[in-house]
Amino acid sequence: MSDTNNTLKKKENQYHHLTEKDRATIQTLIEQKDENGKRLFNNTYIANYLGVHRSTISRELKNRKSYRFMVRSGRTIEKPYNATDAHNNYLFKRGLSKGEYKLRKYTNMAKYIEDKIKIDKWAPDVIVGYMQVHNYFKKDGFCEITAPTIYNAIRYGIINVKLENTRRMKYKPEYEYKDKNSLPISKIPYSIENRPEEINNRSTFGHFKIDTVIGTSRGKHECLLTITERKTKFEIIFKISSKTSENVVNKINQIKSFMKKHYNKIFKSFSTDNGSEFSDFLGIIKDSKTQIYFCHPYCSGEKGTNEKQNSMIRYFIPKKTLIENYSCEDINNIANWMNNYPRKSLNYKTPLEAVLEEFNDKSIINKIYKLQEVVNTI
């Protein structure tokens, strides 16, 4: 016994509810017996190892018993301590919700949620909304699963992910600003205040928010030009060599060349801020029917869509990180992830699904879908 004791490190004496892992340890230790069938580790030793009071172990072994009914004899006999049965008994007495029980019972649903968090990086509320809209696991009673249920399942170890890996998106609502004089005189005709109501209420497709995302503010470095369709939240991201108006205009011209006759059908308007990279706004809308509208200076609330979309990009490219460290393929993958991320504002459809509903012409859809990948290679 002394040799075995040396291999086990005594934990600090801190009191807590026994976890499923703790119960597995208890089962392992009480199953260790000498040649005479006597336990090698008593309750005091197990309690010290787990960092709990010995009465906790005594109650655990007494109250978490499981039984088996013998059909032939009609007798009920006591089964040896089983960690899984004991933990299920604990969860039952602790009063877990029906949803959490379903996640333990229907492991395929728990695995689906786990993969969506780990691999697809979806937030729990998005997973729940997407499952409900698409009737996933309906026969398993998916309607009883909520976002808090998923968070509790993570805490109890039912879903094997870390809480810090779950994403909670912060929404920044857009608001109107009433002060025309805050815009430069040359831009007043293009003020966001003159933007038609059909653009403001997002009732029609083809109106985009355009912005830039930098890696570091020191020196001239590559940055991202982001273009977000207001109605569907469809995201297009391009790398440009630096944050200048010339590079922005060049990239817009490349888009025009690729889209050809479809350009005016798709890009009906741009809304942007007063950054110097958009100072050549006449160059942006040259040779097209596209309109441009400027937000008021220092009013980030007028471009809440951009703020949220950019925060999703920051999930992969933190601030003060050089954009040069990311290939065009990396940028394309980020845009693809964003366009396949369900949105509550779209009734938990993805931006890509929303775009597909806008057009019957497959040639236009193919152009939009390939735009990101093709233009990023130019």
pLDDT at 347 over 80: yes
3-state helix, strand, coil in the chain (%, to 5): 50, 10, 40
Secondary structure letter of residue 8 according to DSSP: S
Cα distance between residue 176 and residue 221, in whole Å: 33
Distance separating alpha carbons of residues 246 and 242, to the nearest angstrom: 9
Rounded-to-integer distance, Cα 205 and Cα 202, Å: 7
Q: Where are the beta strands (DSSP E) in 32-94?
A: 66-69, 76-79
Q: Which domains, ranges and CATH numbers included, belong to the chain?
A: 2-87 (no CATH), 96-165 (no CATH), 180-375 (3.30.420.10)
> 38 exposed, middle or buried (CB, 10 Å; 0-12, 13-18, 19+)?
exposed
Residues 355 and 234 sit within 8 Å (Cβ to Cβ): yes
The Cα 296–Cα 294 span in angstroms is 7
Average the pLDDT over 234-239 and give the result.
94
The DSSP letter of residue 220 is S
Q: How confident is the model at residue 181 (pLDDT cuts 50, 70, 90)?
A: very low
For residue range 103-152, what is the model confidence (pLDDT) as tens digits? 777 788 888 999 999 999 999 999 999 988 888 877 655 556 788 888 88
- pLDDT value at residue 87: 82
Distance (Å, whole) CA 29 – CA 78: 19
Side-chain half-sphere CA neighbours of 157 within 13 A: 10
Max CA-CA distance within the chain? Answer: 96
Q: How far apart are CA 344 and CA 308, in angstroms?
A: 13
Percent of the chain with pLDDT over 90: 30
Query: What's the confidence (pLDDT) of residue 94?
Result: 66
Query: pTM for the complete prediction?
Result: 0.69
The phi, psi pair for 209, rounded to 5°, reads -100, 135
Share of the chain above pLDDT 70, in %: 80
Comparing CA positions, the residue from 269, 215, 259, 208 lying closest to residue 369 is: 259
Q: For residue 224, give the nearest of 313, 300, 297, 285 by alpha carbon.
A: 313
Closest Cα partner for 100 from 135, 146, 32? 146
pLDDT digits (tens, 9 = 90+) for 284-335: 888 889 999 988 877 766 667 777 888 899 989 998 899 999 999 999 999 9
pLDDT band at 13 (very low <50, low <70, confident <90, very high): very low
Q: Which range has the top average pLDDT, 16-30, 79-93, 99-113, 258-272?
A: 258-272
The pLDDT of residue 139 is 67
User: Helix or strand or coil: residue 236?
Assistant: strand
- For residue 10, the model assigns a pLDDT of 44
DSSP, res 69: E
